[in-house]
Structure 1
Amino acid sequence: MVRQARDLLRWCSPLRTELWASRLAAGLEPDEVEPFLRELRENGGTEARLALAALAAVHPERGAAPTGPQPGAPAVSGQGVEGEGEGEAGLARRAEEAYAAAGEEVAGTLPGWVRRMGRVVCEGGWYGPADPFGEQALAALSFRYENGKEPHLLVVAVDQPNGGLAVDAVVEEVKFLDDLGLEPADPGVVAGRVLDAFELGERVLGAVTAGTLDAVRAVALARARSVPGLVRGAADDAVAAFRDLPDVPGAAEAFGRLAEFVGDRPLWWSPARVSRFLTSWLPREAVLSDEAVAAMPDVVRAWSRCRGGHPAVLRQVDADAPLLPALMADDSLAGVRKRMTRNQPPDHP
């Protein structure tokens, strides 16, 4: 570590140093952070102080913490945690606080370029599918340091079939964006989606992610949190922007159920998802008028064209759509909620 830090001191690159610190943090468990920082402080050398400053830069304080215990979280006090164990969330919070405090101690003892770490300006955001069927989405944000140097691009891959969790991330030159085919988007919304995706990944046990994700995690989170106007839990506007509804009776009703199915992941539209919608979800969940059942194939084709019109998707619609009337009429396929809805009296609220 000392040798690597010595090289970084010669390069004078805030970006390289932050990426190095992110990799360094990835190798530490939360309960290892404070002993490691204590060892660096005791060392006291320039290289150790650079490590402290860099670790603090990629673990910025998130602002004021909630004043009371949060649902499902342990109660934390200044002397520790009430209860038998602190829990992973408490350990992670303490680790970030420890990084920030350790960095403050050395802020004025290092070359001036070190103080530019973490002080970035977001210059744009982009969002869109990573593959033909949108099974992964890409969230991209561009940054440069306050002095205008070292422009760079953060790209986070967000898995759609498993709920929208972060599965990979890279920091590249801004020209990397040219090959991604993404549409411009509000940076605050994109940054919020990045934070949402990482937060979901932390809650999913056994989530399969790329081996490169952990090394970039700290920088990715720090960059996303630095974007002004953060919007958490933003809905994708693809459904609201859809304007190609077929002019047939029942189309609006049919599209309403399609919108319910795609939910907050409308970019994901693969042959398998089409088939699940037409042959499983609709018969189990949806109560539709005869007009809406008749309109559904045209509605699904129109939505599929909007999502890229991939031949494999359209072939799947053609294969499954003729089965829909019989499936909708088969009461044995209806789920509990659908049965209860159908059994309600007409004036039921």
Structure 2
Amino acid sequence: MSTETFSTAVTQARDLLRWRSPLRTELWAARITAGLDPAQIRPFLSELAVDGGPEARLTLVAIAAVNAGRPLSPPGAPGLPDVAAPAGDATAEAGAEVYAEAARGLAGTLAGWVRRMGRVTCEGAWYGKADPYGEQVLAVLSFRYDNGKEPHLLVVGIDQPHGGLAVDALVEEVKFLDDLGLAEAEPGTVAGRILDAFELGDRIMGVQVADTLASVRPLAITRAQGVPGLVRGASDDTLARFRDLPEMQGAREAFEKLAEFVGDRPLWWSPQRVSAFLTSWLPREAILSEAAIAAMPEVVRAWSRFSGDHPAVLRRIDEDAPRLPALMADDSLAGLGKRIAQSRLEP
């Protein structure tokens, strides 16, 4: 007797054979993949193979197309076969191979449009803030199939407060980009950031993500891994583009500490993060000269203007900056690392 998953897939595949849309079919296959428990995968693929009808063959080919990328998750992660291994392991390709083997030779038995699935060209990339304070950034890649049709965007939301993990993913029409105000970027760099964000998400438990993420994840990974010139662990050049350092004694020293604090997430600059920097991180972590302490408020204001000039951020600086000299002088606020460093400086 057919399983419910099998019956639903065959019924939906019948409609997809009429629509003849590679993109719609790939998105459908990604949703199927996301809904499969690891223990279900081999029986499901076997049931499709035994059926052998055009709907079953389309399902096998589509699932293979969206799972052609190298698995990023540890073994047992949702949506991956139980043979998957962590990235970097010699058997990490096995997850994709399960799907590829089940679909081997089947694409040629179906209509020509089926063979276009996965055959896309990346035409551009964009990266930037998803909200005024950059608490989430968007990484966007633009694709088009090799026949020039069905242009589409892969949009991945990357959370900043939790370290830069993927929290949402969408596939949208190109016009979706019009109102985002994102900066153009190198496709290989953006694709690498997408993969980094998914990989980080696999390592952190309990983080809230959008319901849509799992159903786009297989396609997103496969698309990103296929971008030429892929760059993993790329640094953000936002700090390097900052040119408005105040001309005052101690400003360079102050900015170096600010740069250390924002790290590899410089687009995230909210009132809460400003306050954490001025009232918590600096007193706990930083050893600064008196000149740098005096210059810090103006340095932070300059950075804030560069980061969007938001009134709420500037108001928070006005509220917290006057307390900075007293906080820096309070040795009870120093963390262990700062205390050890200070002890080494003492004569």
Tell me the TM-score normalized by structure 1. Answer: 0.90
Specify every segment of 5 or more residues in structure 2 that has no aligned partner in the other structure, as ranges.
1-8, 76-81
CA spacing shift, 1:34–1:86, aligned 2, 3 Å: closer
Q: Does 1:40 align with 2:48?
A: yes
Give SS of 2:278's match. Answer: helix
Q: Give CA deviations for 1:213-241 in whole Å, capped at 9, x if unaligned.
A: 11111111111111100111111110111
Specify every segment of 5 or more residues in structure 1 that has no aligned partner in the other structure, as ranges.
66-72, 75-84
2:199: which partner in 1?
A: 199
Q: Give CA deviations for 1:129-153 in whole Å, capped at 9, x if unaligned.
A: 0001100000001000011110001
Q: In the aligned structure 2, how far is the partner of 1:170 from the partner of 1:61?
A: 18
1:263: which partner in 2?
A: 263
Q: In the aligned structure 1, how far is the partner of 2:300 from the partner of 2:248?
A: 13
Report the alpha carbon displacement of residue 26 of structure 1 after superposing the two structures with TM. Answer: 0.7
Q: Which amino acid aligns with 2:172?
A: E
Instruction: Provide the alpha-carbon RMSD of the alignment.
Output: 2.0
Give SS of 2:288's match. Answer: coil
* Counterpart mapping for 1:91-130 below 5 A: 94-130=94-130
Give SS of 1:344's match. Answer: helix
Q: Does 1:29 align with 2:34?
A: no
Q: In the aligned structure 1, how far is the partner of 2:83 from the partner of 2:24?
A: 34
Q: Is the 8 A contact 1:30 1:92 kept in 2?
A: no
Q: Which amino acid aligns with 1:222?
A: T
Q: Which amino acid aligns with 1:32?
A: Q
Q: In the aligned structure 1, how far is the partner of 2:38 from the partner of 2:143?
A: 28
Give SS of 1:240's match. Answer: helix
Report the alpha carbon displacement of residue 92 of structure 1 after superposing the two structures with TM. Answer: 8.2
Bigger shift: residues 270-279 or 105-114: 105-114
Q: Is the 8 A contact 2:84 2:95 kept in 1?
A: no
Identity between Structure 1 and Structure 2 (%) = 67
2:60: which partner in 1?
A: 52
Report the alpha carbon displacement of residue 280 of structure 1 after superposing the two structures with TM. Answer: 0.2
Give SS of 2:171's match. Answer: strand
Q: Give CA deviations for 1:270-309 in whole Å, capped at 9, x if unaligned.
A: 0000000000000000000111000000000000000001
Report the alpha carbon displacement of residue 105 of structure 1 after superposing the two structures with TM. Answer: 3.5
Q: Which amino acid aligns with 1:29?
A: D
The alignment covers a number of residue pairs equal to 329
Q: In the aligned structure 2, how far is the partner of 1:197 from the partner of 1:125?
A: 16
Q: In the aligned structure 2, how far is the partner of 1:236 from the partner of 1:255?
A: 16
Give SS of 2:70's match. Answer: coil
Give SS of 2:167's match. Answer: strand
Q: In the aligned structure 2, how far is the partner of 1:257 from the partner of 1:136?
A: 23
Q: In the aligned structure 1, how far is the partner of 2:11 from the partner of 2:322?
A: 67
Q: Is the 8 A contact 2:70 2:92 kept in 1?
A: no
Q: Does 1:18 align with 2:26?
A: yes
Q: In the aligned structure 2, how far is the partner of 1:21 from the partner of 1:177?
A: 25
Give SS of 1:125's match. Answer: strand
Q: Which amino acid aligns with 2:326?
A: A
Q: In the aligned structure 2, how far is the partner of 1:62 from the partner of 1:247?
A: 50
Q: Give CA deviations for 1:70-126 in whole Å, capped at 9, x if unaligned.
A: xxx89xxxxxxxxxx978749986432211222223122111111110000000000
Q: Which amino acid aligns with 1:259?
A: A
Report the alpha carbon displacement of residue 325 of structure 1 after superposing the two structures with TM. Answer: 0.4
Q: Is the 8 A contact 2:285 2:337 kept in 1?
A: yes
Q: Does 1:5 align with 2:13?
A: yes
